[in-house]
Amino acid sequence: MKRIHLFLPIFFSSPALAQVDSLQQPPDATQQVIEDFLQNTESEGSFDFNTIFEELQFYQENPINLNEAGEEELQALHLLSDIQILELLSYRREAGDLLSLYELQAVPSFDLLTIRRILPYVTVDKGIDDYQLSIPRMMAEGQDELYLRWSRILEEQQGYTPLEEGQTAQRYLGSPNQFYLRYKHSYSNKLSYGLTAEKDRGEEFFTGSNRQGFDFYSAHLFIKDYNRTVKAIAIGDYAVSFGQGLVLYSGFGAGKSSYVMNIKRTARALRPYTSVNESNFQRGAAATLAFGEHLEVTALASYRRRDGNVLAPDTLNADEEIRRISSLDIDGLHRTPNEIADENAIGQTTFGGRLRWKGARGHLALNALYEQIDATLSLREQLYNQFYFSGDRLFNASLDYSFIYRNYNFFGETAMSDNGAIATINGLLMGLDRRVDLALLVRHFPRDYQALFPTPFAETTGARNETGAYLGLEVRPHRYWTISAYFDAWQHPWLRFDADAPSRGYEYRARLTYFRKRNLEVYLEVRDETKERNIDKIDGKNNFTLPNRVFQTRLHLAKQVSKALELRSRIDAGFSDNAINNAQRGFVVYQDVIYKPVGFPLSFTTRFALFDTDGFQARYYSFENNLLYAFSIPAYYNRGTRFYVNLRYRGIRNLTLEARFAQTYWRNQDTIGSGTEAVPGPRRTEVGAQVKYKF
């Protein structure tokens, strides 16, 4: 999976993060949401967190006024759940302005952990309204940042080995080095412009297909809240999100996680794009304009080149002039001749808009999106994909809403594709008591609903062929204890890529958390999922669509030993089982040490992990701190160990230097990875370095 630009709710659960530090690492809750996302999608990945931390850095210097902030501004903070925002707004209406931040303890759903998360970023004092600040002044008085990053795998992977005589396999044309460059100028969160460039491992650099240097370039200019009419202007590359994700959602769409109340999509309609994901963005211009207090209009236009697998012309039809592609590629990798042949093969034109009415208790919005590609998408015919989109143009429209009534937040979206199929998702967040919150969500995506980039809350991707219901509950019986749980059940009325028959499944999860003052967090969690899918019989050639069960337990402990030292320990254990194969079992144990001495420029984080499982089906995802704002989430499976250490030096003004070393050792394997990514031998070593300069 390529890096994904994340826009998701984060919760600061590590006590050390309550200190003001512009170079914060992501809190435990963020890590867990990402781990859960990858567990659900059954893949590994790495992520670019730049945008979310830039916003938090701004809020450290310009705290949000909790007495004036509306729902959107509180959502932009990314530190509160929607039910907590609902409770805060209701408290303000009934009790008036907060007199002190300590009064947050009186707001239902705000426990001590929640209050500690937001303290560095909020205030109850009035700020300065700088709506009329000119663009030239913002450019002159802003801040500049430059990032340079390098990384690689030390061992020679299969894709870099020379071909032997007679071999015809694919090989990477570039070097194993990965380069990342990013420059950004910003003035608070009102203006930003910049350039992002990246070369992936295996891609050519200033040669071959990339004589211009990097393989991927992205540039943007973004203005936010320039005045009371101009709410946003985007030129260049930008991200767009509408409603609950049935039509278009360019942010990170977190799904089911241990933070059971986070089921609502809340990203802003327009945002600057600074990630290195090479598919999930728009390129052109867009704007959001406000007409009075209640009406907003967003319009966008985009044209960009896309990767696509171009099909050879039909030799039986010599007059065929229509270009056809079998897929739209989204990985952004151009390392081999075949991958380079697909690079920028087609053009995609996008027009869209949003008409939104908003009031004190909610909003109602009408969304429309038109997509056209300059080739015909012709999927390779399979039973499971016969209702997928094919052709060269697609139109979607939707109606989304969110309304608050007392302690209830009703939200949802209903969308239609131009073939007449209608998909809908609707939810309810409830504050039943100051200690009890409840979340409900139902979804129905027919098998023939079509959209290019939907990301709704769901079990599977694509917003199609799924009907399900979700119930989440959070109880705070004591100031130090939290109980959270969810149950989700779904069915797929038609075939899927990994299920040769209609299928269904269910999942439940429960967590008991103990948080004590500023220095201790412990939780015990149980997760159990059963879903029908194709299962290969280990000692035969046939597969069967049968229920497969995955059961996992986790014990996690985070201890703040001192202001400088934090220890984190975790044990994961469980199994994967089905009716025709033997169960795969296993466990993972790891120890983290996070050392950030006060008044000393050198800090480090390190981990040692021991894993022992029967195979890939019994795998565990564990979030790893990487170089600043770049994070990895490997899947631990087979038998072996993993170690990493990250060093950070901040002894030179405005300059941050970082280095990373990570190594995986499999004691029961002769190779790590497969295909061109395979490393001969039992070890794979990753190294990297980064420079950040502010001026």
Query: What are the residue boundaries of the structural domains of the chain, listed by start?
Result: 133-163+171-222
Instruction: Answer with the residue of higher pLDDT: 78 or 604.
Output: 604
Buried b (16+ CB within 10 A) or exposed e, 14-26: bbbbbeeeeebbb
Question: Residue 287 has what pLDDT?
Answer: 97
User: pLDDT for 133-145, tens place per residue?
Assistant: 788 888 888 889 9
Check residue 38 and give its pLDDT: 59
Q: Quote the pLDDT of residue 39.
A: 62
Mean pLDDT of 208-230: 93
Neighbours of 555 (CB within 10 A): 14
**Is the pLDDT score of 23 beyond 50?**
no
Give the chain's radius of gyration (CA, Å). 25
Higher pLDDT, 636 or 121: 636
Q: Environment class of residue 98 by beta-carbon count within 10 Å: exposed (0-12), middle (13-18) or buried (19+)?
A: buried
pLDDT at 295 over 80: yes
Residue scoring higher pLDDT (310 or 608): 608
Residues shown for the chain:
695
pLDDT at 3: 39
In DSSP notation, 448-493 reads: T---SB---SSSSSSS-SEEEEEEEEEEEEETTEEEEEEEEEEEES
CA separation for the pair 611, 570 (Å, rounded): 12
Residue 8 has pLDDT above 60, yes or no: no
More confident residue, 194 or 61: 194
Banded pLDDT at 431 (limits 50, 70, 90) = confident
* Whether the predicted pLDDT of 229 surpasses 80: yes
Question: Which has more pLDDT, 531 or 141?
Answer: 531
* Cα–Cα dist 54/274, whole Å: 11
Mean pLDDT, all residues of the chain: 86
Rounded mean pLDDT of 32-61?
60
* Contacts of residue 583, Cβ cutoff 8 Å, sequence gap at least 6: 575, 576, 577, 614
Mean pLDDT of 464-491: 95
Q: Which of 82-91, 178-187, 590-599, 638-647 has the lowest mean pLDDT?
A: 82-91
DSSP code per residue over 306-353: E-EEEPPP-TT-TT----EEEEE--S----SHHHHHHTT-EEEEEEEE
Residue 227 scores a pLDDT above 80: yes
CB 399 within 8 A of CB 364: yes
Give residue 183's region: left, alpha or beta (phi > 0; psi -120 to 50).
Answer: beta
**Residue indicated by tokens 């254990």:** 573
Most distant CA atoms of the chain, gap in Å: 80
Categorize the per-residue pLDDT at 323 as very low, low, confident or very high, splitting at 50, 70 and 90: confident
The residue with greater pLDDT, 244 or 319, is: 244
156-165, 306-315, 416-425, 431-440, range with the lowest pLDDT: 306-315
pLDDT 10s digits, 549-569: 999 999 999 999 998 999 999
pLDDT tens sequence across 376-409: 999 888 899 999 999 999 999 999 999 988 888 9
Look at residues 252, 253, 254, 264 and name the one whose alpha carbon lies nearest to residue 32: 254
Number of other CB atoms surrounding residue 175 within 10 Å: 16
Give the model confidence (pLDDT) of 618-667 as tens digits: 999 888 888 877 777 888 999 999 999 999 999 999 999 999 999 999 99
Percent of the chain with pLDDT over 70: 88
Cα–Cα distance, 441 to 446 (Å, whole number): 17
Highest average pLDDT, of 117-126, 255-264, 415-424, comes from 415-424
- Is the pTM for the entire model greater than 0.85? yes
Rounded to whole angstroms, how far apart are CA atoms 462 and 672?
31
Q: What is the mean pLDDT of residues 580-595?
A: 94
Q: Provide, rounded to the nearest whole percent, the portion of the chain with pLDDT above 90.
A: 56
In this predicted model, which residue has the larger pLDDT, 90 or 662?
662
- Per-residue pLDDT band for 257 (boundaries 50, 70, 90) equals confident
**DSSP calls for 557-605:** EEEE-SSSEEEEEEEEEEEEEESSSPPEEEEEEEEEEEE--TT-SEEEE
